[in-house]
Amino acid sequence: MSNNKSFSHQPSYSTRPTLRVDLAQIRANYDALKNKVGAAKIGASVKADAYGLGAVPVAKALYGAGCRIFFVATAGEGKLLRDGVGPNAAIYILNGPAPRDKGVLLGAKLKPVINSMEQARFWGEVAESVNEPPYTAIHIDTGMNRLGLSHEDAVELGRDKRLWKALNPEWVMSHLACASDAAHPMNKTQLQKFRKAAAQLPLTPLSLANTAGIYLGKPYHFQMVRPGIGLYGGVATNKPGQEVSTPVATLLAPILQVRWVKAGETLGYNATFTAPRDMRIAIVGAGYADGIPVNESNRGTAILHDEEVPIVGRVSMDLTMIDATNANLAVEVGGVVIFRGKHLEAEAKSAGTINYELLVRMGQRCRRDYWKPKKTDEGKKPGKPMERFTN
């Protein structure tokens, strides 16, 4: 007599969460933003691994849409991007040059953004010591008080013809602090300071606007804009109705267990939630290591079968508990609960943070699921049949 036990059939699933990125929609967002800025070039911000979505596949999608200018924060990011997109893209390093990065900057033909006179003098010496040094960009601080040359620095650099020639800048740029609010007086103040400082330098193409700055209108566009969050479908201004981007990233968390808890029982670490009634709880395989903030504990929501369901108990490193008591459709092991996507802004508000942070904090252990149009569908709107690429 056989001792083999039969097991009920379970659907095929993984305990690993999936980050689904719609590359077709990224290209559509790029095109929509480009239509708003006319002749101005677009320099895509793909720093922090393209806001957590994968710098190389995102940059390749943007390259296919016609983008040839990319901005990252560090030389290491730039080297990875160069290896991914090839020799024809211009890759700028926003944090600027540093002695330990010299070999990477030169070897990968990365273009440093000069943020101080110290960086200017250092890179000027490097440039004069090598054949065909990469071009640079000059960053002027106009009110952020982060990186950037002061107005006095700009005057000094403009007078130092040898240093200017050694740096060989392609762009003069600054960064807006309050562009999300079109009525904020700092926008016009920064615009005036930028024009005044740029006038101290040899005639060079200018760049000021981030995604939010695009919506301030043509005076802010100059010769190049540098969108980031708008490429990924995040809201950039306090008037979302004017924006042309659509979210591109969805986090899919597998249901690992479904259990009933009785009224009065507690859930999770520190017993922060006590069941007010008998409840059906879905435990899903994603936690704060995958970008679900602890601040969402007992206050955030997720999406199950297109229904909004509460997060209950404390979000832990690998797991989150969902109240599925009132879900109208089946709640089964192997199903998925959805975070981000079109609910990105609501999640950010619930967690007391910003959409940027929710995107970049989705952990590297997520399986990446990239979608782009089939070759026969190139040029068609998103929503047509898709090809899937995973890693």
Q: Mind telling me the catalytic residues?
A: 47, 269
The three-class DSSP label of residue 116 is coil
CA 390/CA 285 separation, integer angstroms = 19
Indicate the burial class of 191 (C-beta count within 10 angstroms; 0-12, 13-18, 19 or more).
buried
Query: Would you state the structure tokens that stand for residue 263, as one six-digit string?
Result: 């009224």
The number of angstroms, rounded, from the C-alpha of 268 to the middle of its chain's C-alpha atoms is 31
CA 192/CA 189 separation, integer angstroms = 5
Please report where in the chains the tokens 């993984």 appear, as a residue: 14
CA 25/CA 227 separation, integer angstroms = 15
CA 102/CA 106 separation, integer angstroms = 6
Q: Residue 188 CB: number of other CB atoms within 10 A?
A: 12
Integer-rounded Cα radius of gyration of the chain: 24
Please report where in the chains the tokens 């267990």 appear, as a residue: 257
CA 99/CA 108 separation, integer angstroms = 15
Contact indicator for 240, 253 with CB cutoff of 8 Å: no
Give the HSE-up count for residue 114: Cα atoms under 13 Å, Cβ half-sphere: 29
CA 342/CA 40 separation, integer angstroms = 29
Determine the residue type at 352. G
Handedness of CA 282, 283, 288, 290 (dihedral sign): negative
Strand partners, 336: 254
Closest C-alpha to 225, from 216, 233, 234:
216
Contact indicator for 316, 269 with CB cutoff of 8 Å: yes
Handedness of CA 322, 327, 331, 336 (dihedral sign): negative
Contact indicator for 62, 37 with CB cutoff of 8 Å: no
CA 236/CA 35 separation, integer angstroms = 17
